[in-house]
Amino acid sequence: MRVLIACEFSGTVREALRALGHDAWSCDLLTSADDSRHHFRGDVLDVLRLTGPWGMMIAHPPCTYLASSGLHWNKRRPERAAQTEAALDFVQALMSAPVPRVAVENPIGCISSRIRKPDQIIQPWMFGDDASKATCLWLQGLPPLIPTDVLPGGRAARRANQTASGQNKLPPSPDRWALRSITYPGIAAAMAAQWGGQA
């Protein structure tokens, strides 16, 4: 199956699918972190228009102006509110892409209230990664992911990526957004196995 991983520069999901024999490609405005030749650098909407057809797309639109954690700034900074509207338009374009199987991934935020509720909310600890990060999935033509390795303690456990107060341990830095945007390996493996299967 030809699979496009939209807004991914790390190659994590792309490589999980390629390992199962799929013709998977990532696309981002950034260059590929792993220097893969299976990466389009540019606007994913152009890639969809010029390189189709695709059998599946897994999209990770930037969450800067969509996540609940930053939306409080929109009332104080009107330019951010406009960027949220542009980000929502981009998400809608991804959801409307001419691809039969689509998954859009994002943290809890305004997609739920402005476009539609997610089909599923997952956590890395459901897939064997000792981390807590609620992740919403909006699905079209794809089933919800089935947890593959639920870690002890479930939701109540304090995870390795959290402080005692429940905050993310990564300190502010220029690349914090990039580190937080990388899909956890257990989730990537589940996406590949459950949505792609063996090619």
Give the pLDDT of residue 154. 85
Give the pLDDT of residue 170. 47
| Domains of the chain with CATH codes | 2-191 (3.40.50.150)
Give the pLDDT of residue 115. 96
Predicted structure pTM score: 0.89
The token pair that represents 139 in the structure block: 């699905």
Whether a cis peptide bond, with omega within 30° of 0, leads into 53 is: yes
Separation CA 31–CA 33 (nearest Å): 6
Separation CA 40–CA 32 (nearest Å): 8
Residues of the chain with pLDDT under 70: 65, 68, 70-75, 162-181, 199
Give the pLDDT of residue 176. 42
Give the pLDDT of residue 148. 98
